[in-house]
């Protein structure tokens, strides 16, 4: 595993590679301090160290109540482990049945299979999750967008459907793969929708082997430190 991480680091831009090593150190130390077993594989298309580290920092620093995770994987393992230390509810959705079953065998909380359908969202047709009622009618203080599989145009655009009604008054939204053009287009659209909500929203981009873009309200200003 560490040979694959090293290969990615050696071929990445210097600053991003350095950041990845720093986040790897932070993440592993925090896992150790919480008494959790390290069982993660932040390689290839999986969540990288910066993604895992900032999510861990958020759960550790804030009293989050409801978390929604789009797309299952390494972050699902992390949230499941953190539930043994912190009091929060996690809803994870996944559209790929085999992958959903694979990760489900590794976690205790239920992963919801959500098929993709073509939907018109915020002026664009996208493959979007078909939300079950129990998720559609819930408010979340942290939403993590890492699914479905990204595209070259308005990637993961279906996540915008959550902005009008699924966010608590104070919230955090994290978009993974923010270095990609398709995600950047969706992030720009999310920025416009959040402005229409009439709340003060801050932004931060975390840069390492992959980038994450974070929207957050005043209550979570400590995110600037992560």
Q: Collapsing DSSP states into helix, strand and coil, what is residue 123?
A: coil
Start-to-end CA distance of the chain, whole Å, equals 25
Burial of 104 (0-12, 13-18, 19+ CB in 10 A): middle
Q: How confident is the model at residue 48 (pLDDT cuts 50, 70, 90)?
A: very high
Lowest mean pLDDT among 41-50, 81-90, 94-103, 166-175: 41-50
Distance (Å, whole) CA 75 – CA 100: 13
Phi–psi pair at 188, nearest 5 degrees: -65, -40
What pLDDT is stored for residue 4 in this prediction? 60
**pLDDT > 60? residue 12:** no
From 162, 158, 148, 172, select the one nearest 45 (Cα to Cα): 148
> What mean pLDDT is reported for the chain?
92
List of domains in the chain: 2-225 (3.40.50.150)
8 A C-beta contact, residue 109 and residue 69: no
**pLDDT > 80? residue 95:** yes
Q: Give the pLDDT confidence of 54-70 residue by residue, as tens digits.
A: 999 999 999 999 999 99
What pLDDT is stored for residue 37 in this prediction? 96
């Amino acid at each position: 595993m560490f040979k694959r991480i090293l290969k990615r680091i050696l071929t990445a831009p210097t600053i991003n590679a350095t950041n990845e090593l720093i986040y790897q150190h932070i993440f592993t130390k925090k896992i150790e301090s919480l008494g959790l077993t390290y069982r993660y594989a932040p390689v290839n298309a999986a969540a990288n160290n910066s993604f895992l580290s900032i999510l861990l920092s958020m759960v550790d620093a804030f009293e989050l109540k409801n978390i929604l995770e789009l797309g299952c994987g390494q972050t699902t393992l992390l949230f499941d482990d953190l539930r043994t230390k912190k009091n929060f509810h996690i809803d994870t959705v996944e559209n790929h049945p085999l992958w959903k079953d694979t990760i489900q065998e590794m976690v205790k909380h239920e992963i919801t299979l959500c098929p993709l359908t073509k939907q018109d969202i915020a002026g664009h047709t996208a493959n979007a999750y078909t939300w079950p009622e129990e998720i559609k009618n819930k408010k979340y203080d942290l939403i993590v967008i890492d699914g479905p599989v990204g595209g070259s145009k308005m990637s993961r655009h279906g996540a915008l459907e959550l902005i009008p009604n699924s966010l608590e008054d104070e919230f955090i939204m994290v978009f993974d793969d923010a270095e990609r053009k398709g995600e950047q287009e969706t992030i720009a659209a999310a920025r416009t929708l959040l402005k229409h909500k009439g709340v003060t929203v801050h932004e931060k981009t975390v840069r390492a082997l992959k980038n994450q873009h974070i929207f957050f309200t005043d209550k979570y200003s400590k995110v600037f430190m992560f």
